[in-house]
Amino acid sequence: MSLFLRIIRRNRWAQEFWDLHDYDWLDKNDIPIEPLFDILAVDKNGNLQKEISVWYIHDDKSNLERIIAALAASRSNIDVFDYLLIEEGIITSFGFKLKKIKGETADKHANENWHYNINHLSGFKLVNLIKEILTYRKKIIDFNKFEDDNIDRKTAKEIKKLINKARCSNWINPSEIKVSKSQLD
């Protein structure tokens, strides 16, 4: 089953962190508001985007590092990289549409082949999508198998290595790397 990567802030999806927000009133069928911040985005002018940008990941995750490197190289600074992997089946089962569209990273191949937008968004579908992701995540946490988690973090150190790897492998155009060279040494 193919996967799709979405950049998130991991702590918005972690039960341990929600517990601090006084969610004892939350209905068991409801979800905390935090994950919505990662699914809904605003553009530079503050307008709500009605599509969700995601990246296609092969089922064996063979292009995962390459995509992370491409996205991280497009940032201003080396930093942690938090991401969510969503199964394609989950996306389509809720009635969303996936549309291939050119990405905007330093990796031309990734831009042309692996970037998609999720369309046909609605409030009801989005909440159900998040619920589904969180339910899956809870199962994983219950078994304490973080290595199989669909939400993960690469440390700054790992990101630096990945960008350098992408540079050496000619995955990314060095002139399009936005992270300063001094941060990559």
Task: Judge contact between 79 and 159, C-beta under 8 A.
Answer: yes
Q: If binding is defined by CB under 8 A, does position 170 make contact with another protein?
A: no
What H or E segment, with its residue span, contains residue 154? Answer: strand 151-154
Q: By CB under 8 A, name the one of 50, 97, 120, 146 that touches another protein.
A: 146
Number of neighbouring beta carbons within 10 Å of residue 55:
26
Q: Which residue has the tokens 């630096």?
A: 160
If binding is defined by CB under 8 A, does position 16 make contact with another protein? yes
Q: Does 136 bind another protein (CB under 8 A)?
A: no
CA 127 to chain centre: 17
Strand partners, 21: none
* Nearer of residues 29 and 76 to another protein, judged by Cβ: 76
With contacts defined by CB under 8 A, name the span among 8-16, 23-31, 52-60, 101-109 that binds another protein: 8-16
The contact set with another protein (CB under 8 A) reads 7, 9-11, 14, 16-17, 20, 37, 42, 72, 75-82, 141, 144, 146, 153, 155-157, 179
